[in-house]
Amino acid sequence: MDGDTDREPLSVEALHAVLTAALERQRGQRRAALDAMTARLLARELERDGYCLARIPSTA
């Protein structure tokens, strides 16, 4: 593989840990994107119904 023979192959456990961490990170990113999209849609619906979002206190 590209002449890089100095590295030891990963054990099954190490490979599992690396792939699990990458999957969890990806899930977190997708969840954050979904939460942001949901917030934008909710804000749009509230504004359409006449609510002023500047007057709604933040829970963050």
pLDDT at 4 over 80: no
Q: Are 37 and 45 in contact (CB under 8 A)?
A: no
57 vs 37: which has the higher pLDDT = 37
DSSP class of residue 45 equals H
Cβ atoms < 10 Å from Cβ of 43 = 13
Average model confidence (pLDDT) across the chain: 85
Examine the pLDDT at 1 and tell me if it is beyond 60: no
Give me the residue spans of the domains in the chain. 12-48
Q: What is the Cα–Cα distance from 45 to 16, expressed in whole angstroms? A: 43
Amino acid (one-letter) located at 21: A
